[in-house]
Structure 1
Amino acid sequence: MLPDRKMCASRTRPPHRSGFDPLPVVIIGNGPSGICLSYLLSGYIPYFRRDSIHPHPILQRKLEEAPGVSILDQSIEGSMVTLSRGEWMGLPDLPFKDWLKQKRRGLRNNRATAEDIAQYYQHYVMKKGLQKNFKCGTVVTSVRKVSAENVSNHEQKGLQVNSDSLWNFNEKSAEVFQVDGFFKTVRGDKEPFSLYAESVVLATGTYDSPTWLGVKGENLSYIHHQLSALEEAVKNNCIGITSDPVLIVGAGLTAADAILFAHHCNIPVIHVFRRRVSDPGLIFNQLPKMMYPEYHKVHQMMKEQTAACAGPYECYVSLPEHHVLSFGKDKKCIFQDKNGCQKVYKISMALVLTGSNPNLSFLPNNGIDLAMDNGQPVNPKRNPIDVDPFTYECTQEKGLYALGPLAGDNFVRFVQGGALAVASSLLKKANKNPP
């Protein structure tokens, strides 16, 4: 995604002495984080509305102090991620529920699907006139720092890269990011490109590589690792009320979404997860009940509807502190509890939703050097990219930013605050030395 130069229309920056003029910023990723940042960099400036009430009282007072000043120009200390309290999938200035109503649908009786959400984001880009910022069918293969002087002297060819470091170069030289990759043409060909940017924003999410259990039979055709597989099966009438149960493995929010979707469709579910329901590390034990009532409904189901204790929820069975031993060709799955006791269930399909990992192969050392623990791969929950909490700029590499799950913000509602932080930082840099 390549935001246009509106960002610098009113905040001029001086040209490089060499005459080489890279893009102000390149955003890699077309999900909610990247879309929201593109929106803010395209001339949409957020202001505090005088009649609005924010649930965070300290933030409310801070915003009331300067109602005529753009939020991008304010210092919202420590509260960036709480700026939005919109519904969980919404982006600025176009509520998700309003968009669903336009489709004559509502969330209460007809739960939104992954397909709905994807269509909403596509509509948002068109509605806000952001399509010129997006380069679809683009694959980024490399992001690295290069000397702007070398780029100019060699006419952007034969770049000299310092082999002594993965990232850093001679501090005396102006540096830019070189972004390499290819476009996928209509014919299926790959057309290479090289772009240069003063800043790069990583907004690629973490859905590139779903986590596998590594058990026997996991490669069978009825085993899936994405929620969309369940939605597709329902859409095509492959499963229904009378089907064998759907197995959902995992205790995160994606697993909860799958349970809610199946529950609304009256599809029987067997829910298997390794943790205790009361485990403080369980995400449901960390969410405010008032802000996430649907997820707490799932948590309640997990507590009250175990195989050992029948509860009020039909078509759902919870198996806490269990793990999968194997999947059979006959669609029989074997589980084992913490005491070593085994159970066998016949299922219609299985969704293994135990998390996913980002593909950062386009970064030096797969981005490991940017992580909180630079001895381990980047992981959205356990080892996100280390960023400044007020700007979302990578602490290990200036000019490089990370948004969304890569920075540990695993809720769409939080990406608006992160995008605001990045936009504010970029605009301040662009206007650092006005003419």
Structure 2
Amino acid sequence: MKSEFQQETIHKEVVVIGNGPSGIALSYMLSGNLPFITSTSHPDEMLATRLTTAVNQSLIDADLDFLSTGLEGRSTNPISLLLDALLHPCADVGINMEPLVEFMKSGREIDHVVLGKGLPGGSWHKMDPQILTLSLGSWMSLPGIPFQSTDSGERRAYASSVAQYYVKYVDEMKLSKFFRNNVLVSMVRPVETLRKIDIVKEDRNWVQKIDANDRMSLCTTIGTKNKPKKCIISNAINYIWNRSGKRDCSKTCKKVRSQRTHNEHSPNRKIKEILSEKHYMQCDLESFDSNSSLSSSDSNNLNLVDPRRDGEIVPSRVHHENDVNWIIETHDLESGKTTIYTCKYLIMANGCHDVPNKLSIKGGDDQDWLLYDLRALEWCLDNKMNMQDTSRPDPVLVVGAGLSAADAVIALRGRNIHVLHAFRNKSADLNRQLPENMYPEYHKVHQMMQDGCSSYPFYTSYPEYTLTGINQVEHTVILSTKEGRSVEIKVSYAIVLIGSRPDLTFLPKSSDLTWKQALPIDGKTNVVKTNKFNHRVEGYKNLYAVGTLAGDNFVRFIPGGALAVVADLYKRNQLDET
């Protein structure tokens, strides 16, 4: 059956959007690697006492709510705090202790796929490779392989080293088979229960209308030399008839097409095609969901045509309608191929650094010399300007007061380029969050921002100014204050670094995910509305959020979010089995 909408459709128990540290940690645990408590010798006496109830036990089976009681730290998620306390006991006070947990390959391998727009590691590959991490290098590791920093004895690590570590981790942990890299998620849609019931009813109706005289078995033609062209839908119907003790049927495509034409422009058409017409769905027969397990006799009846193997008959299975709760459409950035994934559980692990925040600027924000990414600015400076015969470029304007803006100031001054630094508010004391002995470069920029241009070459600060206008012809920027003062300055480039947000354009427009509905999602002040103990997104069935989306902004807390999700999946499927 040919259709312009026909695409490869693959079913997975779990689909993870995002292949950064969160997606990697999830894949590691979904592959059956589970944490076991090996010791109760924790400096926190209350936690040590609670650990005695779960010693030599998998944390998947432990009472995580009880174990995490009273823990505090740099995360608002209790399970993240718990696993961090066990992996890095008292790390914040400088104590160097061995982990109290050990990961073992003892769990079930849950059928899953991890979707990412680039290489494993996510946004770490987009950072300036020479930027040092905020966390200690040892805190950048994921369970199973420690991160060995070789960056000239630095306690912190270069971003390039961290990015390489995550690629190596996926390879050495044999997780590559679960990763689909260079893939863009273009659409995610929930399949409502009532809609699935209607679809099942429709399926039964058109199955019952099939004329018995039209039923013919494909089994008699499988072994012949000239095989007739098999149809995915017919094979699925064959399975239904075989299970009911009746003969199979292969003349249903025309009826399916006739039913589809009356609803040609329905917004649920794609969902209906996937579920109602029973497109081919790839699935591991050894899925962790026991409700979908098959006997040997059942599997013999599941002969479906695999469109990826030129019509070859391969064993698969027809999914129960409850197996499909989400539909995910993806596009391969290299081949342009579209693939549809269906799944029972969907996990968002795509971070909050996809889309830069922008200013409302008179003159437009689409100028080629107005940038929002430090890597893009460095590329322009190192490539375009090297080809020009100029002694020194015009100043570069940096807008923003955060650490990303400080990174830009450091990078520009390192190239002997004059920096104009505009920021709305005077910076607060950094020592509370970033001790000066660990982060001297940021304290240096902070000092420059307060002192202005009196003592530092290649730097001029504009405190309490913001970028309000651009003159494309003159290549100038207009900086203004709240009081109405303004100044116009000629620049070579302007870069705006005022934060970023996640790219969730693939979700339905009506999605209400955050606590503060009127504000965009932010990893610090407005995270996705989740249950803190299992990371389920409130208001959505079988949807989870981990990592920055859920408020875990440091890699050391990310494995805890993965543990919370995987433990919940195990518990839920145990309940399904009873």
The bucket for the TM-score relative to the shorter chain is 0.7 to 0.9
Counterpart of 2:190 in structure 1 is: 144
| Equivalent residue number for residue 289 of structure 1 | 434
Counterpart in the other structure of 1:44: 33
Matched, 1:123 2:173: no
Cα deviation 1:316-367 (Å, max 9, x = unaligned): 4443321012234444333223443334444442221112232323223353
Is the aligned partner of 1:336 residue 2:336? no
Q: How far does residue 43 in structure 1 lie from its aligned partner after superposition? A: 2.5
1:270 Cα deviation (Å)? 3.0
Q: Which amino acid aligns with 1:359?
A: D
| CA deviation after TM superposition for structure 1 residue 403, in Å | 1.6
Considering only aligned residues, what root-mean-square deviation do their CA atoms show, in Å?
4.0
The aligned residue for residue 80 of structure 1 is 79
| 1:68-217 pair list within 5 angstroms | 68-74=56-62, 75=64, 76-77=68-69, 79-82=78-81, 83=84, 87=136, 90-92=140-142, 93-96=144-147, 98=148, 101=150, 105-106=151-152, 108=154, 112-113=158-159, 117-140=162-185, 141-147=187-193, 154=203, 157-158=272-273, 174=322, 176-184=324-332, 188-193=335-340, 195-215=341-361, 216=363
Specify which of 536, 540, 564 is matched with residue 421 of structure 1: 564
Task: Within 5 Å, give how 1:284-363 maps onto structure 2.
Answer: 288-290=433-435, 293-294=438-439, 297-299=441-443, 301-306=445-450, 308=452, 310-311=454-455, 314-329=457-472, 330-363=474-507
2:30 maps to amino acid:
L
What's the counterpart of residue 375 of structure 2?
Answer: 228
Q: Distance in 2 between matches of 1:325 and 1:376?
A: 22
Counterpart residue identity of residue 349, structure 2: A
Q: Secondary structure at the match of 1:365?
A: coil
Note the C-alpha offset of 1:390.
1.5
Instruction: Name the SS for the 1:201 alignment partner.
Output: strand
Distance in 1, matches of 2:520 and 2:508, equals: 12
Tell me if structure 2 keeps the 8 A contact 1:36–1:416: yes
- 2:185 is the counterpart of 1:35: no
1:209–1:357 CA contact under 8 A, matched in 2: yes
Q: Which has the higher mean CA deviation after the structures are superposed, 243-252 or 257-266?
A: 257-266
TM superposition shift of 1:264: 5.7
Q: Distance in 2 between matches of 1:432 and 1:65?
A: 23
Assess if the C-alpha contact under 8 Å between 1:277 and 1:320 holds in 2: no
Q: CA separation in 2, counterparts of 1:212 and 1:270?
A: 18
Report the Cα distance in structure 2 between the residues aligned to 1:431 and 1:336, rounded to whole angstroms: 61
Which residue pairs with 2:408 in the alignment?
A: 258
Q: How many residues align?
A: 387
- On the 8 A contact 2:468/2:478 being kept in 1, the answer is yes
Q: Where is the helix percentage greater, Structure 1 or Structure 2?
A: 2
Q: 1:241 to 1:397 in 2, by over 3 A?
A: farther
Instruction: Tell me the distance in 2 between the aligned counterparts of 1:265 and 1:66.
Output: 55
TM-score (norm 2): 0.57
Assess, with a 3 A threshold, how the Cα gap between structure 1 residues 219 and 363 changes in structure 2: closer, same or farther.
closer
**Structure 2 CA distance for aligned equivalents of residues 324 and 204 of structure 1:** 30
Distance 1:63 1:318 in 2: 53
Specify the SS of the correspondent of 1:36.
Answer: helix
Assess if the C-alpha contact under 8 Å between 1:150 and 1:160 holds in 2. Answer: no
1:96-152 Cα deviation digits (max 9, x unpaired): 5x2x52xxx448499735x55544432322222211111234333122124465676
For the structure 1 residues 210 and 73, does the alpha-carbon distance in structure 2 shift closer, same or farther, using more than 3 Å as the test? same
Matches of 1:242 and 1:80 in 2, distance apart?
53
8 Å contact kept, 2:136–2:157: no
Distance 2:396 2:155 in 1: 21
1:271 to 421, 443, 463: 421
Task: Give the structure 2 partner of residue 248 of structure 1.
Answer: 398
- Cα pair distance change 1:360/1:224, threshold 3 Å: same
Whole-Å Cα distance in 2 between the matches of residues 132 and 71 of structure 1?
A: 26
Looking at structure 1, the residues matched to 504 and 400 of structure 2 have their Cα atoms a distance apart, in angstroms, of 24
Q: Which amino acid aligns with 1:91?
A: S
Normalised to the residue count of structure 1, the TM-score between the two structures is 0.73
Query: What's the offset of the Cα at 1:27?
Result: 0.6
CA gap 1:23/1:109 in 2 versus in 1, 3 angstroms: closer
Amino acid at match of 1:249: V
d(CA) in 1 for partners of 2:530, 2:31 = 24
Question: Aligned pair 1:384/2:527, yes or no?
Answer: yes
Residue in structure 1 matched with residue 301 of structure 2 by the alignment: none
Structure 2: gaps (5+ residues): 1-9, 72-77, 92-134, 204-235, 237-270, 277-320
Q: Matches of 1:60 and 1:255 in 2, distance apart?
A: 42
